[in-house]
Amino acid sequence: MNAITSAPAERLVRVPLGKRAYDILIGPGLIARAGAEIAARLKGRKAAVITDENVAPIYLDALTASLQAAGIQSSSLVLPAGEKTKSFEHLMTVCDAVLTARIERNDAVIALGGGVIGDLSGFAAGIVRRGVRFVQVPTSLLSQVDSSVGGKTGINTHHGKNLVGVFHQPDLVLADTDVLNTLSQREFRAGYAEVAKYGLIDKPDFFAWLEANWQDVFSGGAARIEAIAASCQAKSDVVVADERENGPRALLNLGHTFGHALEAATAYDSRRLVHGEGVAIGMVLAHEFSSRLNLASPDDAKRVETHLKTVGLPTRMGDIPGALPPAEVLMDAIAQDKKVKSGQLTFILTRGIGQSFVADDVPSSEVLSFLREKHPQ
């Protein structure tokens, strides 16, 4: 990839899943066009908009006006912001709101928000009436490049993150890049961790491009749109090859096994750690663990850490505010991970930058020893 110097231009990424294929539109001003884009693709003329208390004051009126202009009748539900909203309690609230709005199978549930709202709303859309149409309008960088694409939905339980959910593909994703201008630097950095992840999985040229162009991605414009489009295309390719995560789609979890354990250890308290920050630390740990197993050079782990630290992300467990539980508790969280099969730990490890692979026979004793070594006690 080369440096991006042209003016911002809208991009379209197609997710070719046969009859369930859908478009991802990426560019400025898409919320104002949402009604027209949805009406052009869906037969239904009713929608239930699910959002949160942070996003609603900024974008809900614009989305509602766009739907009305396109002849789509809408209702809305505003939920508390934060990871703790991904719960059984709020799932029931969303389902009740969708049913109260008399949403039918050809109508749509619209998720207006970040990954929490998208995951929760998508789960409700997948189970109400055994499945209604679903539109993602992601408002964070993390959700635009990751959680809004691919159909994985779910909620958290006290056993761990995203352990209850369904696969339910959206019918349309509208990634309005203008909304990213209202994100805090912390939120944007957290989303950037998922962008970097795609390079670290199997696109070393993209990771090198990010190392050279990350400042332009942060400042906006064409480089930002290019990075989002490249990320969505990378995820689309993996989803099409393995929609239900029976094989190579697991690569998308690079850094997530460690990251999810750290999120659980902080009780999903966003003041201490948000998802993208957990992934950033997790990706460094995954590269360091790979080096420990003599799979990759320690120089690769250092390169990953250097880049993520340069953009302002945490890269060590010790960077998380407050005390962490012992390594044994973190290990218990890893053992509950969805990627455990027949009691065997499955990790995404690497042989170098852009050379990740699925390892499904990782000895728990090695993981525990590594966690003890890295724990900031």
Residue 168 falls in the annotated catalytic set: no
Residue 45 falls in the annotated catalytic set: no
DSSP secondary structure of 206-234: HHHHHHHHHHHHHH-SHHHHHHHHHHHHH
Residue 20 falls in the annotated catalytic set: no
Residue 158 falls in the annotated catalytic set: no
Catalytic residue among 187, 226, 245, 277: 245
75, 30, 165, 342 alpha-carbon torsion, rounded to 10°: 180
Residue 181 falls in the annotated catalytic set: no
Catalytic residue among 90, 203, 256, 374: 256
Catalytic residue among 260, 287, 303, 339: 260
Residue 211 falls in the annotated catalytic set: no
Catalytic residue among 275, 287, 303, 374: 275
Q: Which is nearest to 264 in space by CA: 275, 276, 280?
A: 275
Catalytic residue among 194, 226, 277, 288: 194
Catalytic residue among 235, 287, 339, 374: 235
Residue 245 falls in the annotated catalytic set: yes
Q: Which is nearest to 44 in space by CA: 99, 109, 114?
A: 109
Residue 89 falls in the annotated catalytic set: no
Are the C-beta atoms of 266 and 325 separated by less than 8 Å?
A: no
Q: Distance (Å, rounded) from C-alpha 94 to C-alpha 104?
A: 15
Calculate helix-pair angle for 185-202, 298-310, nearest 10 degrees: 150
Structure tokens at 43: 């037969």
306-309 CB contacts, 8 Å cutoff, 24+ apart = 307/196, 307/207, 307/210, 307/211, 307/214, 308/193, 308/196, 308/280, 308/283, 308/284
Structure tokens at 370: 């590594």
Cite the DSSP H helix spans in the chain.
34-39, 61-69, 88-100, 115-127, 141-142, 185-202, 204-219, 222-241, 256-265, 275-292, 298-310, 327-335, 364-374
Catalytic residue among 249, 307, 338, 374: 249
Residue 130 falls in the annotated catalytic set: yes
**Helix count and strand count (H, E) for the chain:** 13, 11
SS3 helix, strand, coil % of the chain, rounded to 5?
50, 20, 30
Residue 203 falls in the annotated catalytic set: no
Catalytic residue among 54, 162, 213, 253: 253
Are the C-beta atoms of 278 and 257 separated by less than 8 Å?
A: no
Query: 108-126 burial, b if ≥16 CB within 10 A, otherwise e?
Result: bbbbbbbbbbbbbbbbbbb
Catalytic residue among 2, 19, 89, 130: 130
Residues with active-site annotation? 130, 152, 194, 235, 245, 249, 253, 256, 260, 275
